[in-house]
A = this chain, B = another copy of it.
Amino acid sequence: MPYFDAASAAPLHPVARQALLASLDEGWADPARLYREGRRARLLLDAAREAAAEAVGCRADELVFTPSGTRAVHAGVSGALAGRRRAGNRLVVSAVEHSSVLHAAEVHAAAGGTVAEVPVDRSGAVDAGAFAAALGEGTALACLQSANHEVGTEQPVAEVAEACRGVGVPLLVDAAQSLGWGPVEGGWSLLAASAHKWGGPAGVGLLAVRKGVRFAPQGPSDERESGRAPGFENLPAIVAAAASLRAVRAEAAAEGARLRGLVDRIRARVPELVPDVEVVGDPVRRLPHLVTFSCLYVDGETLLHELDREGFSVSSGSSCTSSTLTPSHVLRAMGVLSEGNVRVSLPAGTAAEDVDRFLDVLPGVVAGVRGRLGVPAGSAAPAAAPADAPGSLVVDALGRRCPIPVIELAKVIGDVPVGGTVTVLADDEAARLDIPAWCAMRGQEYVGEEDAPEGGRAYVVRRTS
């Protein structure tokens, strides 16, 4: 049963399992105690820190273990902001950071701080120059992921780090998705990561803070982990995390190249096999194991459900798969289609046959979902409008959820002449993203949107072909 959601959580690496078992017996005691069980625990903790620091590319005394990658980000952002309070209260983040960074930014803003979001291009990457330009007066901290968790696009971290260094602003890198593949290049100041993304156990994150970076841990603290991560150390899991990081690194070059080939196959074949698909994310500067695409006229939740029935576990940034019924902020920031969105992230060891079977199954699954939604077939240009066609049409999709507003638009675009307009009334959050994306994919003109008198928004599309 192929599991293709390594970017959420990777199955436990055999080395992690082995190390965890061994340290359940050796590493349960308090490493702060002086008796033999405590000393043994301390040795394990020190060795794990050395190993993790080597993999990160920092000194052991710069690295602490946290209960999760999320907590590492929270502690890193709040500690760096507080440490740089005198410099100002401006926080610069990319628009496609992980939610843990954005949640930390929200807390900063709620406390009166300023947050500047650097936009991304359609591939999901920030422009290093634009990022540098955002490092305005009073910038206390900048945050940039090493690679995006939803679309796999690598960010220009080294260039941004250099720009940050030039103006004396520390850069925090969220390396959660990439650390298993290799160290983060460039002169970053803080780095956060999460063990269960590289095949380590849940319950372990890591936070590196370079010497010389002003850092003031926030909230209650204790003597553990240099005062940066309070609470009893989760030692067996920490040992397993460090051991598995070494192990995946040893395999990273070969396995990365192999998975990159499998992902290339998906990137190439999906648009050939499935009509009206947009593969998103940078095709070259990307994580080796991750690919994301969106399918027009498809309900993401149903698609995931059908793929699950076929034995494939994938995730989605479609609005209907989120509890808030809004599309992923990453897809939104990129301005790409969000409906029928599928993220495939291959765990190490994924068999090529499983990828092939996925490519076999996908077209039928998508066609089935589209069929049940009554989608107009094919991606051919719309038929010529009848001679007596009205110059404009209004489609009322108020109260209808993604992908219905776009399907309704596709159904009637052939009913207006070239030059005519279709106005879609919709209150679904995804329409704002997906109607312009549909226009880009189908070569029609997106005119704009405005508040609709009926409630919701009116999206205007002009037929151009």
**CB within 8 Å of B: which residues of A?**
1, 3, 5, 8-12, 17, 20-21, 24-25, 28-30, 33-38, 67-71, 74, 78, 99-100, 103-104, 106-107, 194, 196, 201-203, 205, 219-223, 230-237, 301, 304-305, 307-308, 312-315, 321, 323
Q: How many monomers of this chain does the complex have?
A: 2
Residue in B closest to A194 when the chains form the complex, CB atoms: B232
- Which 10 pairs between the two chains have the least Cβ-Cβ distance? A67-B67, A68-B231, A203-B234, A35-B313, A70-B231, A103-B220, A203-B203, A8-B30, A202-B234, A35-B308
Complex contacts, A9 vs chain B, CB 8 Å: 28-30, 232
Complex contacts, A69 vs chain B, CB 8 Å: 231-232
- Cβ of A74 and Cβ of B202 under 8 Å apart? no
How many Å lie between the Cα of A106 and that of B220 in the bound state? 8
With beta carbons under 8 angstroms apart, the residue of B20, B28, B29, B99 that contacts A222 is B99
- Cβ of A24 and Cβ of B17 under 8 Å apart? yes
Complex contacts, A38 vs chain B, CB 8 Å: 313
How many Å lie between the Cα of A202 and that of B236 in the bound state? 8
A130 to chain B, nearest CB (A): 26
With beta carbons under 8 angstroms apart, the residue of B21, B37, B104 that contacts A3 is B37
Complex contacts, A12 vs chain B, CB 8 Å: 24-25, 28
A270 to chain B, nearest CB (A): 19
How many Å lie between the Cα of A36 and that of B237 in the bound state? 25
- Cβ of A28 and Cβ of B1 under 8 Å apart? no
A107 to chain B, nearest CB (A): 5
With beta carbons under 8 angstroms apart, the residue of B24, B78, B220, B308 that contacts A34 is B308
How many Å lie between the Cα of A264 and that of B372 in the bound state? 74
A3 to chain B, nearest CB (A): 6
Instruction: Say whether, besides A33-B313, A201-B236, A74 and B220 are in contact (CB < 8 Å).
Output: yes
